[in-house]
Amino acid sequence: MDVLALVPAVVGIALSPLVVASVVFLLGHRGGYGSAAACASGWILSVGAALVVTVLLGERLPSPDRGDTDVRAVVELVAGVLLLGLAVWQWVVRRLPDGRPRSAAWADVVGSIGPRRAFVVGVAWFLTNPKALVLSLTAGLVVGDADPSVAAMVGTGTVYVVLAGSTALLPIAVAAALGPRAERPLEATRAFIARWGSLALVAVLTVLGVVQLVAGLAGLL
């Protein structure tokens, strides 16, 4: 299995500021650890479910070894175009004049919900995140197209889900380890996301878009 081909999906899904911001804001409100953990769980379970679905899809696609079109390369090429389009959209539409994301207003609403709704929010952030959906498709095709043993597939998939979802768990781990001292780094994280989250996402989308375009072109040539 070409493990390196999974890196763009892992990085792209891990660097999803909206879910990280949600977990951070939840840690500072009445729901505390319970709501934050529920939101992270909803996100991570969605990452895992999407991988399973796309792996099953990848196993049923035609194989280039038999002379068929390399579907994975085509998907990577299309994913690159979509990711670059999302970068442009994020830059033009989703930013306020000072660089903050237009979605910043949801912070107080998210911070006041309980664990059940927080879990739904985690799932919703994944299902409404075009970047995560596109990258999940490319990751699933990588795993499904490789046709490894079941043990290797499960092992690789588990590592992929853990790494891709790690950033949603990181604020919870920091808060648990530092206790009251965690408020300062969490507040700094809130401020960073509010000020620079949109710009950082544009940069991530652009880099990932170029990587997927190159990978797709290489697979077709």
Q: What's the confidence (pLDDT) of residue 97?
A: 46
Give 3's DSSP letter: G
- DSSP letters for 157-192: HHHHHHHHHHHHHHHHHHHHHHGGGGHHHHHHHHHH
pLDDT in tens, 37-69: 999 999 999 999 999 998 887 766 665 555 555
pLDDT in tens, 189-218: 877 777 777 778 888 889 988 988 888 888
Cα Rg for the chain, rounded, in angstroms? 18
pLDDT in tens, 140-157: 888 776 656 778 888 888
Q: What's the confidence (pLDDT) of residue 104?
A: 52
Q: pLDDT category, 99, cuts 50, 70, 90?
A: very low
Angle subtended by helix axes 183-220 and 150-178, to nearest 10: 160
3-state secondary structure 85-125: HHHHHHHHCCECCCCCEHHHHHHHHHHCCCHHHHHHHHHHH
Cα angle for residues 61, 76, 132 (degrees, 5° grid): 100
What average pLDDT is seen over the chain?
Answer: 81
- Measured distance CA(200)–CA(84) in Å, rounded: 14
